[in-house]
Amino acid sequence: MAFPLFFFVAKHLTDRYMGLSVVILAAGQGTRMRSVLPKVLHKLADKPLLEHVIASAKSLGADDIHVVYGHGGDAVPTTLAHCDVDWIKQQEQLGTGHAVAQAIPHIPAGRQVLILYGDVPLTSVDTLKKLIELGQQSGFGLLTISLKDSTGYGRIIRDESGTVVRIVEHKDATETERQIKEVNTGILAVSRENLALWLEQLDNNNSQGEYYLTDIIAMAVADGIKINTASPATEHEVLGINNKRQLASLERSYQLEEAKKLMDAGVGLRDPARLDIRGNVSCGRDVSIDINVVFEGQVEIAENVTIGPNCLIINSRIEAGANVLANTIIESAVVGKNSNVGPFARIRPETVLAESSRIGNFVEIKKAKIGVGSKVNHLSYVGDSVVGNDVNIGAGTITCNYDGANKHLTEIGDGVFVGSDTQLVAPVKIGAGATIGAGSTITKEVDAGSLALSRSKQVSKSGWKRPKKNKN
């Protein structure tokens, strides 16, 4: 008796889980963008619009993702070659229905199909999950939204009982139908078998001469399938990009949502409207961020960090208690606990600043390790270097690390004092506790605890007269 029961349960689970295939339509030209770049490759938060949509599809756990592209040739799949998707080229752009039809042969039988759009980047995963569930319940899930200004959108036509019966495109709608505020987003979830059947029945008898995907709504109703509708939590979830103004507007919507997430996590933002996140940022407690700060890539910020205005931080880790002052750039680096960086400092890749180090104004550090409590306070360049603890590097000091062909290492021991306007010509080693006199050019190793000087003899000439310009 146990086997038949197991068989029944297994069959029930199989029927319920259909598997999910996502089709993303990305073949549009986007002429209103006034650009040679395909519309879906324009960037929001420094990531192509299409890549946002692909990321959402992956978050849903889709079994396969199919992207239908066309305008721009192979620029789209080439640019996003790192994305694990099935690229399908639509040779002729004959409408949304025709585009989806190109993907049908690539979708396994028995799948539920979710239709998304490459220029609608911010639809939340929660909204899509709700839509998919509704599609499983009735056989057709449709995402709609009510807009104050519904111009240009397909209107949702319902009967007296409130049931969706069809969609009419704006250009084909009557004046009465154009007063309807509920519109179609184009995002829908249906079974692969029904979708294929309905697509075969499409015609292009409309003002555009195109095969509208929306026409399958009436076909589903005729087949007795109820159209279940869902709506997003916010309008920006379903807004598409057609021009640069819309792109800029949606960028601000996206950034404000990211700012809200940080504030909800306890981050203090001086002005949420003046923050840009172009990647992922994690923050500890009691972090303070001033205006016009830009984060790119993966950024980790520990607790009690303060970041001043106009800073750019890329793929870096800022440890607890650090203070990043105004107009500082930090890229692919680590800023240690209780360190002080800036203002107007540039911390370049492969730099590690140890605890309580100080990097001052107009200082550039590149591929260097700066030890605990060490200071490079003014107008200096330290590159390809290992600097010990409690080192003081004076203003105008540079490590001459490049000989025109290769980079060389400078090693500075603990407790070294480097006077201002010094050149350290690598490869060179400065022993612990050594002192370098100001204005020196150091080309040889300096022993620990010694004083090194390299200056021309000062000459003074009394009665000297400065040359004067000849008068014509």
> For position 57, which CATH number holds?
3.90.550.10
- Among this protein's residues, is 378 annotated catalytic? yes
Residue where one domain finishes, among candidates 195, 213, 238: 238
Residue 181 shares a structural domain with residue 278: no
Q: Which of 238, 268, 288 is the last residue of a domain?
A: 238
Residues 138 and 268 reside in one and the same domain? no
Q: Which among 66, 71, 236, 378 is annotated as catalytic?
A: 378
Q: Is the dihedral of CA 153, 171, 251, 117 positive or negative?
A: positive
User: Amino acid identity, residue 399?
Assistant: T
* pTM assigned to the model: 0.87
In this predicted structure, what is the pLDDT of residue 31? 86
Which residue matches tokens 């997430």? 261
Q: What is the CATH number of the domain that holds 336?
A: 2.160.10.10
In a domain, 109, yes or no: yes
**Closest-CA residue to 22 (of 125, 148, 139, 112):** 112
- How many Å apart are CA 405 and CA 25, to the nearest integer? 49
Q: Is residue 278 part of a domain?
A: yes
CA angle 352, 305, 344 (to 5 degrees): 65
Query: Does 457 map to a domain?
Result: no
- Residue 77, preceding bond cis, omega within 30 degrees? no
The range of the structural domain enclosing residue 227 comes to: 17-238
- Residues 184, 279, single domain; the answer is no
For the residues of 129-157, what is the DSSP string, one character each?
Answer: HHHHHHHHHHSEEEEEEE-S--TTSPEEE
Residue matched to tokens 């349960």: 9
Closest CA to 57 of 99, 16, 22: 22
Report the alpha-carbon distance of residue 80 to residue 179 in Å, rounded: 40
461 within a domain of the structure (yes/no) = no
For residues 358 and 265, state if they share a domain.
yes
Residue 7 within any structural domain of the chain: no
Classify residue 244 by its DSSP letter. H
Same domain, 167 and 77: yes
- 340 and 193 in a common domain: no
pLDDT in tens, the chain (472 residues): 343 433 333 333 334 447 999 999 999 878 888 998 999 999 999 999 999 999 999 999 999 999 999 987 789 999 999 999 999 999 888 999 999 999 999 999 999 999 999 999 999 999 999 999 999 999 999 999 999 998 888 999 999 999 999 999 888 899 999 999 999 999 999 999 999 999 999 999 887 888 989 899 999 999 999 999 999 999 999 999 999 999 999 999 999 999 999 999 999 999 999 999 999 999 999 999 999 999 999 999 999 999 999 999 999 999 999 999 999 999 999 999 999 999 999 999 999 999 999 999 999 999 999 999 999 999 999 999 999 999 999 999 999 999 999 999 999 999 999 999 999 999 999 999 999 999 999 999 999 999 999 988 888 989 988 888 888 7
Where residue 373 falls (left for φ over 0; alpha for ψ -120 to 50; beta otherwise) is: left
Closest CA to 67 of 54, 79, 55, 56: 54
Of the residues 238, 271, 294, which one is the last residue of a structural domain?
238
Q: Are residues 424 and 314 in the same domain?
A: yes
Q: Are strands 410-412 and 428-430 parallel, antiparallel or unpaired?
A: parallel
224 and 263 belong to one structural domain: no
* Residue 90 is assigned to a structural domain of this protein: yes
Whether 397 is covered by a domain: the verdict is yes
Question: Which residues, including other chains, have CB under 8 Å from residue 247's CB and lie 6 or more apart?
Answer: 33, 42, 44, 241
Is residue 355 a part of any domain in this protein? Answer: yes
Question: What is the reported pLDDT for 7?
Answer: 34
Residues 184 and 128 in one domain: yes
Handedness of CA 446, 451, 457, 459 (dihedral sign): positive
Number of domain units in the chain: 2
Closest CA to 300 of 311, 286, 314, 288: 314
Both 268 and 409 in a single domain?
yes
Please indicate, yes or no, whether residues 223 and 174 belong to a single structural domain of this protein: yes
Torsion of Cα atoms, 128 then 129 then 131 then 137, to 10°: 160
* Cβ neighbour number for residue 84 with a 10 Å cutoff: 9
Q: Are residues 286 and 433 in the same domain?
A: yes
